[in-house]
Amino acid sequence: MVSVCIGQGRHQSARRIVECGREGGQRFGEIVGNGGTAASPTEDSVEDFAGGTYVRFDAPQAKIKRSWPGIRDMILHRYVVSRVIWAYMLSIAVTYSITLCLFPGLESEIRNHKLGEWLPILIMATFNMSDFVGKILAAVPYDWPGGRLLLFSALRVVFIPLFVMCVYPASAPTLSHPAWPCFFSLLMGVTNGYFGSVPMILAASKVPPEQRELAGNTMTVSYMTGLMLGSTVAYAAYSFTAPGSGVHVVHQHTLSNYTGY
């Protein structure tokens, strides 16, 4: 009887199932001769079922609300990390800003009457190969102090006047031999690969493990800032160092004197 009632209750509500279970428990007690006074196994199971939680599988589950940190907390966490790794942040920003001031814009304007258009290609190839070597050297373990690393990164600013002398004046550059820009490009590539990788490697080791992901994110922002500043300076200074910027004006003025127009 219990099985029949439960079988029928599958297509009814939970209340009907409980009523069928109680009716079956009373009849079970009459059959065994207890008169319904003793607790039957069916009644225990019904009480357990009735006291439990009825779950509707067709009902949508409640959405889990994730608590994201506010803008104030995000800024505060980055400020705390930046106070520890500020020297490494400035080091990588200075390194890439100096490099983008010269490469590839100014280096591509270096010309030579012997090598012609091949000189910029040779200079860029030298830079890329030496940059690869510098990144490999960065794997050598050495604990650079933040201040010293920033100092050596800032000393790379000496490449700016050296490359300018390879281009300016446009008619006869101060360092006109093609070996000079190739040598400077070699040194700049090695230092760019090394001092552009070491700060990123060491910064994560200066903070606790739970803050290393945030330190990497902060270093990436510094890296992108250096690229943006270097590109902006290179674009602004291009008009002052571009070959032939004043040659055409002088040439036209000379022709006008001869022709009278």
Examine the domain organization and report whether 125 and 171 are in the same domain.
yes
Structural domain includes residue 59: no
Q: How much is the pLDDT for 234?
A: 87
Examine the domain organization and report whether 87 and 201 are in the same domain.
yes
Examine the domain organization and report whether 146 and 31 are in the same domain.
no
Length of the chain: 261
Examine the domain organization and report whether 43 and 75 are in the same domain.
no
Pairwise CA distance, residues 15 & 48, whole Å = 14
Q: Is 10 helix (H, G, I), strand (E, B) or coil?
A: coil
Examine the domain organization and report whether 87 and 210 are in the same domain.
yes
pLDDT tens, position by position, 207-239: 999 999 999 999 999 999 999 999 998 888 776
User: Is the pLDDT score of 241 beyond 60?
Assistant: no
Q: Per the structure, how many domains does the chain have? A: 2
Structural domain includes residue 261: no
Examine the domain organization and report whether 109 and 75 are in the same domain.
yes
pLDDT tens, position by position, 83-129: 999 999 999 999 999 999 998 888 888 888 888 788 889 999 999 99
User: Is the pLDDT score of 248 beyond 50?
Assistant: no
Examine the domain organization and report whether 116 and 194 are in the same domain.
yes
Q: How much is the pLDDT for 16?
A: 53
User: In the chain, what percentage of residues exceed pLDDT 90?
Assistant: 46
User: In the chain, what percentage of residues exceed pLDDT 70?
Assistant: 65
Range of the domain at 201: 71-253
Structural domain includes residue 41: yes
The sign one gets for the Cα dihedral 103, 105, 108, 110 is negative
Q: How much is the pLDDT for 170?
A: 75
pLDDT tens, position by position, 36-90: 444 444 444 444 444 555 555 555 555 555 566 788 888 888 899 999 999 999 9
> Residue 47: which H helix or E strand, with range?
helix 41-51
Q: Which token pair is 120? A: 């910029």
Structural domain includes residue 114: yes
Examine the domain organization and report whether 117 and 215 are in the same domain.
yes
Examine the domain organization and report whether 16 and 143 are in the same domain.
no
Q: How much is the pLDDT for 106?
A: 83
Pairwise CA distance, residues 135 & 189, whole Å = 10
Read off the pTM. Answer: 0.65
- Indicate which CATH number applies to the domain containing 204: 1.20.1250.20
Neighbours of 190 (CB within 10 A): 19
Selected residue with higher pLDDT from 183 and 117 = 183
Q: How much is the pLDDT for 18?
A: 47
User: Is the pLDDT score of 192 beyond 50?
Assistant: yes
Neighbours of 237 (CB within 10 A): 16
